[in-house]
Amino acid sequence: MFGTKEVAAYYQKTDQTIRAWAEEFGEHLSPMANPGKGKGRSFSVDDLAVFALVAEMKERNATYEDIQASLRSGNRGEPPNLSEKDLKLLSATEGEKRAALEIQVLQQHIIDIQQRLNRAEEKAAKVDELNQQNASLKTEVRLLREQLESAKLNQSNVMNLSREIGEAKGAAYIEGYKAALKDQEKKDPSE
């Protein structure tokens, strides 16, 4: 036996539509399809064959009178080839639907978090690359500073040598001047 929700889920109709069909075509259904006020409906496989014909004819825009006539002449549709368990899965309760939706939302959160994690890992890789470049630049700056200190030392040495050369030239000039004066005194003793 199948409940209203299962039948509605299979034929993709509302519970209200199935109840209306059960009342309209009740003479062709089992007694449990219309049990009376306050009692739950249940449908047999034969009832599902009636609903199959109703659904098929409604899709072709048949009137209730045409459907009634077809049912009175013994026509039936093909009932679903599903077990009661399969039909129950089709008609998941609101709680089950909500749980499925929550699972879907959580799966989307997982996807979003994974994407954020991927972006964070990409940024971390860029940071690592920048850190390596920074270390390389620091090494280059250190080498340039050492070269600058070496150049300053060389400049200082060059300046000292230039001064020493200047002093040596000055001393040589003075010595040369003195020697020239002595030579001149030797040539000109009268003066």
CA angle centred on 175, ends 172 and 177, rounded to 5°: 105
Q: Among candidates 49, 91, 93, which has minimal Cα distance to 70?
A: 49
- pLDDT tens, position by position, 65-107: 999 999 999 999 988 776 666 656 665 555 565 566 567 767 8
Q: Is 10 exposed, middle or buried (0-12, 13-18, 19+ CB in 10 A)?
A: buried
C-beta separation of 32 from 41 below 8 A:
yes
C-beta separation of 30 from 46 below 8 A:
yes
Task: Report residue 171's pLDDT band, with 50, 70 and 90 as the boundaries.
Answer: confident
Cα–Cα distance, 117 to 167 (Å, whole number): 73
Question: Where are the domains positioned within the chain?
Answer: 4-91
Most distant CA atoms of the chain, gap in Å: 169
C-beta separation of 84 from 2 below 8 A:
yes
pTM of the model: 0.46
Residues in the chain, overall count: 191
